[in-house]
Amino acid sequence: MAQCTAPIQGHRTASGRANCPVCGGRSRQYTPYISSYSGLTSSWTPAYQSPAYHAGGSSRSNRPYWSTSSSSVIYTAGEIRALSPIRRSIEKQGLKPDKYDVFLCHAWDDRRTVAKDLYEALKNAGVSVWFSEREVLLGSNLMREIDRGLAKSRAGLVLVTASFIGRIKSEGVADKELSALLARDLLVPIVHGVTYEDLREESPLLASRNGLSTAEDTVEDIAAKISELVSTDELSD
């Protein structure tokens, strides 16, 4: 009497099933064989999902735990991973009304273009920003004012442009601000007109901290994400 060859050879392919003296004459619809003694089951358990975000229907519809259920702001999983440690640090600081939400580090060359655009978008999103063009008065000691601004800010934004990378090379003011922010481990890089690969050639440490990019989001979208990141509404409850 012919015997099914599945327990020995397994019907893992359509041809294997066709060559079986028992199953070959049955329906051509192929069903993978699972041995009854293998210990395997047909149940499937999804991979563990970090509590840092709630998954949506696409790679850009995730919502981090600090985002409200009514928020329309969408994030990539990579952005959530990059921003989560900063959010936790902000929460640990507690509610400090005398502090700026963020310190905006930028190249001098960008002060009237993209840095100003980002500053305005952040202000419109309700974020309090230490921005040298607004906070440093004429005749003031620039480095001392920057030092105070850093001390009074809960987190830092680093606007990375071609000009900024050039300023790092020349070890100017932007380089000193960056060094202070890197030491605090509370900064979000925002690349504009360059890539993280471009930045990695000059500052591997900063490039290793993925953040946001104007190639992926508008300045207004980035401002909305920063606004949610630094929100203290939950801290004041």
Active site residue ranges: 177
For residues 66 and 93, the answer to whether their CB atoms sit within 8 Å is no
Distance CA 119, CA 141 (A): 22
- H or E stretch covering 39: none
For residues 210 and 189, the answer to whether their CB atoms sit within 8 Å is yes
Pairing state of beta strands 63-64 and 187-191?
unpaired
For residues 104 and 192, the answer to whether their CB atoms sit within 8 Å is no
Per DSSP, the three-state class of 176 is: helix
Four-residue CA torsion sign, 173, 174, 180, 183: negative
Name 192's Cβ contacts closer than 8 Å, sequence gap at least 6. Answer: 114, 159, 160, 161, 213, 214
214 closest CA partner among 194, 198, 188, 186: 194
**Residue whose pair of structure tokens reads 């630094």 in the numeric block:** 230
